[in-house]
Structure 1
Amino acid sequence: MPITEPAQPRIDQFFSGPGGRADNWRDLLDAARAWSKGGDRAKYDAALSGLAITEEYHGYPGVHLMAALKEAAAVGDAAKSLALVTQIVQALQTKSFRHHAGDWNAEDEGDGDVPDLLPPTFGQSAARRPYFETLIVTGVSANNWPALAAEWRRLRRPVDAFIYEPVLVGSVEDAFCATVLNPNIAAVVINEGFGWRSRHDAPVLRAMSAAMGLDEDSDASALQLAHILKRVRPELDLYLMSNRDVENMAGDPEADVVRRVFYSVEDILELHLSILEGVQDRFDTPFFENLKKYAQRPIGTFHALPIARGKSVFKSDWIRDMGEFYGLNLFLAESSATTGGLDSLLEPTGNIKKAQDKAARALGADRVFFVTNGTSTSNKMAVQALLAPGDIAIVDRNCHKSHHYGMVLAGAQPLYVEAFPMTEYSMYGAVPLKTIKQALLNAKADGRLDRIKMIDLTNCTFDGHIYNTRRVMEECLAIKPDLIFLWDEAWFGFARFSPFLRRRTAMGAANEIEAWMRDPNSVAAYEKQQAELGKNPPDEVLLETRLIPDPRKIRLRVYQTNSTHKSMSAIRQGSMLSVKDVEFHTVEAQFKEAVFTHASTSPNQQLIASLDVSRRQMELEGYGLVANAMEIAFAIRQAVNNNPLISRYFLVLGADAMVPAQYRQSGFVDYLTPGMNWAAALKSLDEDEFCLDPTRMTLVCGTAGFDGTQFKGLLASRYNIQVNKTSRNSVLIQSNINNTRSDVAHLVRVLAEIAGEVDRRLAQGGANARVDFEARVGSLMKNVPDLPNFSHFHPSYRSDAGSRTNEGDIRGGFYSAYDAGGCEYIRLNDPEIDRRLKSGPDLVSANFVIPYPPGFPIMVPGQVITQETIDFMRKLDVKEIHGYDATEGLKLVKTEALARMGKPKAAAAPEFKAAS
């Protein structure tokens, strides 16, 4: 039964997920309504036939209801068809099927129950068991699946903490597609005897499986299928059932992806209990559970935290409203104690340690540290722990300021590398790999490669540029095999839970490199390339070659920081630092010192608990939440760019505008290009140097006459829409796991209203209004300042000014500003600046200067200021520039102070006092 054309585009769309499925059901409902009113029955039949295939991959509506739908259609009962479709759509929308037995009955007409749609604070509701689905891969004939599903349901017990519905498939293709399309699946049971091909003749299934590298010649063993599914959804618990030598299978090192192996004709109850235990393991939140228990205990507090237990709040006539606003539990769960089951964040040995271990499993790391001061602190911890004074780190000049300040704290010397510019939009992209390799090769030529300890990059950037993390690390390790990589993924933590984006995360790439290193073919690939390159190949050849590292020499050292609060359900400032470092034992002591340096000795208990709970959520439902966030982003892109009125003044930039063609080697254009399919999108993710995070949307507002800051303010003050980042002529819109289609509708309605106002203003204002508008747009979109690159550190801050590398003593530059007598101020428009730029002496910055927007440092301490930097500052029309006071001017290091750099100061004569 082939899939009909209307259904295929949605399912075959890249990142199609819950929203696409909901749209398909709504289409079926529309067709059922039309048929019941005497409309075209063929349209209903086509929609049902297209939906029937992929619905087999979901527990609800299940085999029974789908059979009832088909039967009603077969006998031409339009009224029954409409009633059934309506019942199913309502149950799917409200998720009532998880708790309401009547939703599973084809004859149910409702019992008046109201689905639990509101948070529990809006009223009392009975405790409900969380619901999930278990995929059963079996060789049993499809005719026997209803009976087999009934047997699984008989295993349910009232004492079970969770309830699950079996989903049965009979082939590799169907198992793979179910795993991809059904976010409710939390466990998989793989029996032997299944086939390869789906029993459905559905081209879209072929496209999905082929795009992920599955082919019919592959091994279709149960263990091989387990590896396929684990690669797609590593959070899933996998169980194997075999009627052969289960002892040998369980002892196979390749079986490490399986939670347990069962002999197929016994212990079915044990399998059921194991499934529940596996989900319970992910559900458990060690710190949060202990915090809840602590809050219910009668505690006498004799420590320095008056709000603990809430007495000072609820007994007060003056601040009781704070307690009523936040609720009693917030105060009952507060304490500055680290005993009584609460553990210490600085020296975790109990439930915080267990919570961090679970987070490490979830993120694919060896270890994870919880941080309660934001990822700014995570970055500074990592830099301070891993770098020593005099070490060189290759750093993206446009990275978050925490990295720059981390270099100051560590005394390390940043070797700044530049990202590709996007001058038209006053923003930078990411750093090309050639630029990074050139810096390493220059250091090697100077005999300084041993001093380069770290590569420090932002992935993904504010604006959504994603590195090919595996390629960057492999090629850099080919030049220096013991490099440390620090990837700031503050805004990208959710990517771990997408099978498409995971490969582009630090931990995802590190795990792939680790697996490649174990492959015997890796050594052969390295030696083959070395033979082709020959001895001492010129830099030009190395820059153009995709280098393969020597797997025998690699010391894999990867660190990843995530602002958990920016992409998961954690309270603000919740961060995680993930580690995969074979040499961690050599830096563990100083890492602890860095934690002691930066972490508060009074961490927020609620924040730690939210980190624990956010991990639980992402392990159990993150896959579906992230898929929905990406669908939301696509809906916004389509609604803005395809609306005749909105698109006249606003545009969401595609990958073709955000990533230059030379970095899209696969030829990928954009996610929404007509004809885009899984294969092309995955090819781009695997091959291209840079990709665009689909959840980041750069909305150009300059074409409507608004600068970014102005438009951000308008959205917030007038329409209650909040955005974070702006540029000269754009704002950044993000979708996340919190967004809904209603949010999309609100945004689109607002943009349509604003576009309509611009339209009316131009129509009613006459020629002058049009001239003024075009002049404003021209100023924002065409008369844009060139983006300044980092120039160089002044020789006073360089140990070897003649080297090919450009690192400098940023710490020395930073502390130069502490010498008030050694600094001077010159106003930006003072002719003295122009004279010194032409004739000298050098203008040397005494501090960081960071305009918001765009938010990157255009000056760092010790940097020589150039004409392009001054020109850029003079054209800036933003109000917020960190490190610059317009009334005083630029803070510079005086020439005579520069001349004294490195010379010891004369010691003051000791003062002696006569003994009394």
Structure 2
Amino acid sequence: MGKDMPKDAKPAQQRIDQFFSGPGGRADNWRDLVEAAKAWSRGGDRAKYDAALADLSVTEEFHGYPGLQLMAALREAAAAGDAATSLALATRITVALTTRSFRQHASDWSTKEEGNGDVPELVPPTFGAHTTRRPYFETLIVTGVAPGQWPALAAEWRKLRRPVDAFIYEPVIVGSLEDAFCATMLNPNIAAVIINEGFGLRSRHNAPVLRSITASAGLNDESDASALRLAQIIKRVRPELDLYMISNRDVEELAGNPEASVVRRIFYSVEELLELHLSILEGIQDRYDTPFFDNLKKYAQRPIGTFHALPIARGKSIFKSDWIRDMGEFYGANLFLAESSATTGGLDSMLEPTGTIKKAQEKAARALGADRVFFVTNGTSTSNKMAVQALLAPGDIAIVDRNCHKSHHYGMVLAGAQPLYVEAFPMTEYSMYGAVPLKTIKQALLGAKADGRLDRVKMLDLTNCTFDGHIYNTRRVMEECLAIKPDLIFLWDEAWFGFARFSPFLRRRTAMGAANEIEAWMHDSKSIAAYEKQQAELGKNPSNEVLLKTRLIPDPRQIRLRVYQTNSTHKSMSAIRQGSMLSVKDVEFHTVEQQFKEAVFTHASTSPNQQLIASLDISRRQMELEGYGLVANAMEIALAIRHAVNNNPLLSKYFRILGADVMVPAQYRQSGFTDYLAPGVNWANMLKSLDEDEFCLDPTRMTLVCGMAGYDGTQFKGILANEYNIQVNKTSRNSVLVQSNINNTRSDVAHLIRVLAEIAGEVDRGLAQGGANAKKTFEARVKSLMTDVPDLPNFSHFHPSFRGDAGTKTNEGDIRSGFYAAYNVAGCEHIRLNDPEIDRRLKAGPELVSANFVIPYPPGFPIMVPGQVITQETIDFMRKLDVKEIHGYDAKEGLKLVRAEALAKIGRPKPGAQPKLKAAS
């Protein structure tokens, strides 16, 4: 990591984890400092305290609190050999950081222990004196001023504070590009950045990890230390931040530079410091404003006469009742005061938004990097169906991950589109599928092209990330597909991945993040040269085999970028259940806008929940203002859980969280990345993995194997919920899915680990005390769960009756006709799963054709779809399943099949129907 690192520095891995995650690592550093101070005050080794303080001082420069004066006081106490003062001051700072009281209380900034008496000039009396709680943030100031002048500069900025300001902020001052970048990455409280000209390139601290990243970005000499270059770097890693620039040069020319578009406002010198201060507050206010929620709060305080069909509006039917008043007491008055079924009188319509909902959606589009965003109040199941219905017509072909959420399959039924199912790589040992290899997708496209059907292939429909955490290389997938079909539409179901927009690490793997990168590449003059160079290398008629092996480059002049992304906002942000957003980046949207509205009319409720809409508005505000830190914390929580389970001697005997090396086969990890916690792994080679590997693993989604403890997933999920009040969602035959989110804390981690330790201890004692028979029974159970697992069935094919003119050329099928074949009761039959008739027909025919969807939970994907020919492997899988919940299958009735006679009639003209006339040539 660098030979020039001090000997007393923390291990490189810990420093890297801190840089990767941030908030929790910083808190640990302060607690370590307090412990070292305690040891020193009891006569212990002072050198450990000095080393901890020196190590911590470097990164604390990038934070507003404790600030220059308190850090100077800590160093002075240490230099004077005053252990008692060092302990008291370090403890006070740590408590203030933990409780975040420094955001409101001036006394926390004082060097005096009681915080009474004279408040230092560092914090004027206006801090914390405002009657209402004001949100706190920090502003990064990048300057060429010498460090010795920073305290005076900070004091000048604090003088601008006024009691009428809606927010309060603290300046953070750095003097180089590297330190500015480091502060931006480490400090989640930074919400605005002021860039003065004249700063240097290199950090004044020893930061080898930082240097490896900046060097890879091409920052090699002082000429790279330009204000515009820094602005572009910061905007790339944290696009939500407001950037301001102060220049002593020709600001008019600078303002007209297209590269300066990332800057919110440019100022000349420091002639208008108050204007800059007001601009900063205005920028925060713009993100803080929630048009719909703010309006709803005002509406709730107005006297309204309700003569519409919503009796609970205003709450009178609740609070005047002797029988349901407890509902009002539980939820509170505002819930009912803010309810209405009217879309006039100050409220807006979800179906035709023109007011506050429209404004809220525009802010959401900005936050998510989209051209437009639609709020959806029926969950992402509805978002998916809306997109499929709006973008596909009967007869269109869509390449679909067979393991995607059922809403996509039902969307194909509604649209009359023909799914061409592609398979993800199997993880048979854990009864789950991964993601669809790019080679498989390209084969489907190239096959359709060879058959002359590429014009009918309209969409690629994939899940990113998957339930189990597999993340696509979205940019590579879209670029290579666009090289084959330049106008292909992409629908990325990112139900579980909405938070990723607010992580500079994961953003590149989102649909909107990749779409923005592709759009920028298309306008780069080098893109055409790259395309033409590859075409020259490939020659005129390259074989499909060559195309499959080549990382294809699309023609930037031909691309029609059409990308749709659905997010279950309630799954990873602070929205009420069923809150969803549909993001659009489609240059052809004007051609589908009307049908998109029709899809909205079809699926959206005419009585949407006002509180749900407001929560979507609020969730956007939160993520724009503090999402970066919240997501960093969620990732840190996940790493802590992974480490605690896999490195604990007792826990690791019976439980294991699968790493990327298990979840993602080696051939899809081209960078050689193994796992987040593998020895020698740092955030630099993790970035390399995110940029290069075909699939990555979302660190917040953890597959906890419980089969080694003798529990199947469903059983273990029940134990956690019923006995320990721990809720998890998805299970497999031998695992449960544990996921961290922006709601979790370190206390949650401790609770989970304690529970796992208790369960592991019970298993351990049971085996020790139960004798040979108990051990034999346990080993048999583990073998059944971990070894004797059923093979996962692939999709077979649609029956010829549902393939129209496709015949046997390609594998798409008319799923709509298959679905409605089940409505013909006389044309269907039921055969029980263990009936020998199934085995006889599998061998001798007629073929078994499913009349409906059959979806076992787990694994949660359809193993049969309407019109699919059922194979031996599907039956074998069904017979080995020991799950209780199988949608579309009634064990008493058996499998619902389309009769052979009904299949023969499908597609034939109805009696009396006129034959279609051929169009005149």
Decide: shared fold, TM above 0.5. yes
Matches for 1:417-432 after TM superposition, within 5 Å = 417-432=422-437
State the partner residue of 1:10. 14
The partner residue of 1:324 within 320, 329, 332 is: 329
State the partner residue of 1:293. 298
1:211/1:679 contact within 8 Å kept: no
2:867 corresponds to 1:874: no
Q: Which deviations, in whole Å up to 9, do the C-alpha atoms of 1:90-125 show, x marking residues without a partner?
A: 00000000001011111132579xxxxxxxxxxxx9
State the partner residue of 1:370. 375
Give the direction of change, closer, same or farther, for the CA distance of 1:425–1:126 in structure 2 (3 Å limit): farther
2:462 corresponds to 1:457: yes
2:650 corresponds to 1:645: yes
State the partner residue of 1:891. 896
Equivalent position SS for 1:715: helix
Equivalent position SS for 2:224: coil
Q: Which amino acid aligns with 1:375?
A: T
State the partner residue of 2:637. 632
The partner residue of 2:605 within 597, 600, 625 is: 600
Equivalent position SS for 1:15: helix
State the partner residue of 1:764. 769
2:132 corresponds to 1:127: yes
Structure 1 unaligned regions, length at least 5: 113-124, 909-916
Matches for 1:433-512 after TM superposition, within 5 Å = 433-512=438-517
How many Å separate the matches in 2 of 1:215 and 1:404?
Answer: 51
Q: Give how far 1:224 is off.
A: 1.1
Q: Which deviations, in whole Å up to 9, do the C-alpha atoms of 1:737-787 show, x marking residues without a partner?
A: 000000000000000000000001111110000000000000000000000
1:482/1:556 contact within 8 Å kept: yes
State the partner residue of 1:117. none
State the partner residue of 2:577. 572
Question: Could you tell which deviates more after superposition, 670-679 or 207-216?
Answer: 207-216
State the partner residue of 2:395. 390
Give the direction of change, closer, same or farther, for the CA distance of 1:250–1:100 in structure 2 (3 Å limit): same
State the partner residue of 1:850. 855
Q: Which deviations, in whole Å up to 9, do the C-alpha atoms of 1:875-909 show, x marking residues without a partner?
A: 0000000000000000000000000011123369x
2:94 corresponds to 1:89: yes
Equivalent position SS for 1:808: coil
Q: Which amino acid aligns with 2:744?
A: N
Q: Give how far 1:208 is off.
A: 4.8
How many Å separate the matches in 1 of 2:220 and 2:860?
Answer: 47
How many Å separate the matches in 2 of 1:211 and 1:650?
Answer: 39
1:177/1:208 contact within 8 Å kept: no
1:189/1:241 contact within 8 Å kept: yes
Give the direction of change, closer, same or farther, for the CA distance of 1:82–1:11 in structure 2 (3 Å limit): same
Q: Which amino acid aligns with 1:50?
A: D
Q: Which amino acid aligns with 2:306?
A: T
Q: Give how far 1:6 is off.
A: 1.3
State the partner residue of 2:782. 777
Matches for 1:336-415 after TM superposition, within 5 Å = 336-415=341-420
2:112 corresponds to 1:99: no
Q: Give how far 1:690 is off.
A: 0.1
State the partner residue of 1:684. 689
How many Å separate the matches in 2 of 1:860 and 1:780?
Answer: 27
State the partner residue of 1:334. 339
Q: Compute the RMSD of aligned alpha carbons.
A: 1.4
Give the direction of change, closer, same or farther, for the CA distance of 1:780–1:212 in structure 2 (3 Å limit): farther
Q: Which amino acid aligns with 2:493?
A: D
How many Å separate the matches in 1 of 2:828 and 2:813?
Answer: 19
1:396/1:416 contact within 8 Å kept: yes
Q: Which amino acid aligns with 1:870?
A: I
2:50 corresponds to 1:45: yes
Q: Which amino acid aligns with 1:755?
A: A
Matches for 1:187-336 after TM superposition, within 5 Å = 187-210=192-215, 214-216=219-221, 219-336=224-341
1:211/1:682 contact within 8 Å kept: no
How many Å separate the matches in 2 of 1:728 and 1:170?
Answer: 55
State the partner residue of 1:790. 795
How many Å separate the matches in 2 of 1:563 and 1:254?
Answer: 34
Equivalent position SS for 1:395: strand
State the partner residue of 1:832. 837
2:170 corresponds to 1:165: yes
How many Å separate the matches in 1 of 2:224 and 2:145?
Answer: 20
Q: Which amino acid aligns with 2:608?
A: P
2:800/2:808 contact within 8 Å kept: no
Question: Could you tell which deviates more after superposition, 20-29 or 202-211?
Answer: 202-211
1:7/1:47 contact within 8 Å kept: no
1:183/1:621 contact within 8 Å kept: yes
Q: Which amino acid aligns with 2:214?
A: S
Give the direction of change, closer, same or farther, for the CA distance of 1:212–1:724 in structure 2 (3 Å limit): farther
Question: Could you tell which deviates more after superposition, 391-400 or 15-24?
Answer: 15-24
Q: Give how far 1:11 is off.
A: 3.0
State the partner residue of 1:703. 708
Q: Which deviations, in whole Å up to 9, do the C-alpha atoms of 1:474-504 show, x marking residues without a partner?
A: 0000000000000000000000000000000
How many Å separate the matches in 2 of 1:302 and 1:801?
Answer: 57
Equivalent position SS for 2:342: coil
How many Å separate the matches in 2 of 1:15 and 1:429?
Answer: 26
2:701/2:739 contact within 8 Å kept: yes
Q: Which amino acid aligns with 2:191?
A: A
Q: Which amino acid aligns with 2:345?
A: G
State the partner residue of 1:115. none
How many Å separate the matches in 2 of 1:761 and 1:216?
Answer: 65
State the partner residue of 1:73. 78
Q: Which amino acid aligns with 1:298?
A: P
The partner residue of 2:558 within 553, 556, 563 is: 553
1:59/1:165 contact within 8 Å kept: yes
TM-score by length of 1: 0.97
How many Å separate the matches in 2 of 1:340 and 1:506?
Answer: 38
Q: Which deviations, in whole Å up to 9, do the C-alpha atoms of 1:28-48 show, x marking residues without a partner?
A: 111111001100111111111
Question: Could you tell which deviates more after superposition, 259-268 or 777-786?
Answer: 259-268
State the partner residue of 2:156. 151
1:379/1:406 contact within 8 Å kept: yes
Question: Could you tell which deviates more after superposition, 26-35 or 452-461?
Answer: 26-35
Equivalent position SS for 1:261: strand
How many Å separate the matches in 1 of 2:806 and 2:391?
Answer: 25
* Length, aligned pairs only: 897
Equivalent position SS for 1:235: coil
2:88/2:113 contact within 8 Å kept: no
Structure 2 unaligned regions, length at least 5: 118-129, 914-921
Q: Which amino acid aligns with 1:679?
A: A
Give the direction of change, closer, same or farther, for the CA distance of 1:352–1:774 in structure 2 (3 Å limit): same
Identity of aligned residues (%): 84
Q: Which deviations, in whole Å up to 9, do the C-alpha atoms of 1:404-461 show, x marking residues without a partner?
A: 0000000000000000000000000000000000000000000000000000000000
The partner residue of 1:655 within 634, 656, 660 is: 660
Q: Which amino acid aligns with 1:763?
A: A
1:630/1:694 contact within 8 Å kept: yes
2:209/2:684 contact within 8 Å kept: no
